[in-house]
Structure 1
Amino acid sequence: MKLGVLDQMAQPKGVSAEETTDRTIELAQYVEALGYERYWFAEHHATKGLVSSSPEIMMAAVAAKTSKLKVGSGGILLPQYSAYKVATQLFQLQALFPGRIEAGVGRSPGGTERIRSLLADGKVNQLADYPEKLKDLIKFLRKDGRVRAAPRTEDAPNLFALGLGENSAALAGELGIGYVYGHFINPNRGKEAHQTYRASFRKRFLNNPDKRSAIFVICGETDEHAQELAISQDVWLLHVEKGLDSRVPSIEEAKAKYFHDSEKEQMRKNRKRMIIGGPEKVKNELLLLSERYQCNDWLILTNMYDFEEKKQSYRRIMELFS
Structure 2
Amino acid sequence: MISLSILDQVPVPKGRDAAEAIYQSVQLAKLAEELGYKRYWFAEHHSTKGLASSAPEILMAHAAARTHSIRLGSGAVLLPQYSPFKVAETFHQLEALYPGRIDLGVGRSPGGTKKTRLALTDSIPKSLTEFPRQLQDLFFYLTGTLPSDHPSYGITASPVVPSSPALWELGLGENSARQAADLGIGYVFGHFIHPGRGQEAFQAYYEGFKPSTLLEEPSGITAIFVICGETDEHAEELAFSQDLWLLRVEKGLDSRIPTIEEAKSYTLLPDDIEKMKANRNRMVIGSPETVRKKLMLLSEQYQTREFMVLTNVYSFEERKKSYERLARLQF
- State TM-score, norm by structure 1: 0.98
Which of 258, 278, 287 aligns to 1:278? It is 287
When the two structures are aligned, how many residues end up with a matched partner? Answer: 322
| Offset at residue 187 of structure 1 (A) | 1.0
1:241 aligns with 2:242: no
Q: Which residue of 1 aligns with 2:14?
A: 13
| Offset at residue 46 of structure 1 (A) | 1.4
- In structure 1, what residue type is equivalent to 2:40? Y
Percent identical: 54
| Offset at residue 144 of structure 1 (A) | 3.8
Q: Distance in 2 between matches of 1:102 and 1:42?
A: 12
Which of 184, 189, 206 aligns to 1:181? It is 189
Which of 302, 310, 315 aligns to 1:293? It is 302
- Uncovered stretches (5+) of structure 1, i.e. residues with no partner: none
SS at match of 1:156: coil
1:12-32 residue CA offsets vs partner (Å, 9 max, x unmatched): 001111111100101110111
Q: Which residue of 2 aligns with 1:132?
A: 133
Are the counterparts in 2 of residues 91 and 150 from structure 1 also a CA contact under 8 Å? yes
1:27-61 residue CA offsets vs partner (Å, 9 max, x unmatched): 11011111111100110011220111101001000
- Uncovered stretches (5+) of structure 2, i.e. residues with no partner: 147-152
> Once structures 1 and 2 are overlaid, which stretch shifts more, 216-225 or 198-207?
198-207
Q: Which residue of 1 aligns with 2:170?
A: 162
| Offset at residue 203 of structure 1 (A) | 1.3
Are the counterparts in 2 of residues 13 and 250 from structure 1 also a CA contact under 8 Å? yes
- State TM-score, norm by structure 2: 0.96
Are the counterparts in 1 of residues 73 and 104 from structure 2 also a CA contact under 8 Å? yes
Q: Which residue of 1 aligns with 2:30?
A: 29
> Once structures 1 and 2 are overlaid, which stretch shifts more, 199-208 or 219-228?
199-208
SS at match of 1:90: helix
CA RMSD of aligned residues (A): 0.9
Q: Distance in 2 between matches of 1:247 and 1:124?
A: 30
| Offset at residue 207 of structure 1 (A) | 1.4
> Once structures 1 and 2 are overlaid, which stretch shifts more, 89-98 or 147-156?
147-156
- In structure 2, what residue type is equivalent to 1:168? S
Q: Distance in 1 between matches of 2:84 and 2:144?
A: 16
SS at match of 1:71: strand
| Offset at residue 321 of structure 1 (A) | 3.1
Q: Distance in 1 between matches of 2:122 and 2:145?
A: 31
Given the superposition, is the C-alpha separation of residues 301 and 73 from structure 1 closer, same or farther in structure 2, using an over 3 Å criterion? same
1:192 aligns with 2:200: yes
Q: Distance in 1 between matches of 2:71 and 2:271?
A: 41
Are the counterparts in 2 of residues 142 and 148 from structure 1 also a CA contact under 8 Å? no
SS at match of 2:76: strand
1:187-214 residue CA offsets vs partner (Å, 9 max, x unmatched): 1111110000001111124211111110
| Offset at residue 90 of structure 1 (A) | 0.3
> Once structures 1 and 2 are overlaid, which stretch shifts more, 115-124 or 280-289?
115-124
Q: Which residue of 2 aligns with 1:81?
A: 82
Q: Distance in 2 between matches of 1:197 and 1:26?
A: 34
Are the counterparts in 1 of residues 64 and 72 from structure 2 also a CA contact under 8 Å? yes
Q: Distance in 2 between matches of 1:43 and 1:126?
A: 19
SS at match of 1:65: coil
Q: Which residue of 2 aligns with 1:150?
A: 158
| Offset at residue 143 of structure 1 (A) | 3.5
- In structure 2, what residue type is equivalent to 1:307? F
Which of 166, 176, 179 aligns to 1:171? It is 179
- In structure 2, what residue type is equivalent to 1:310? R
Q: Distance in 1 between matches of 2:118 and 2:260?
A: 37
- In structure 2, what residue type is equivalent to 1:51? A
Moved runs in structure 1, 4+ residues, more than 6 A? Answer: none
Q: Distance in 2 between matches of 1:153 and 1:140?
A: 12
Q: Which residue of 2 aligns with 1:45?
A: 46
- In structure 2, what residue type is equivalent to 1:222? T
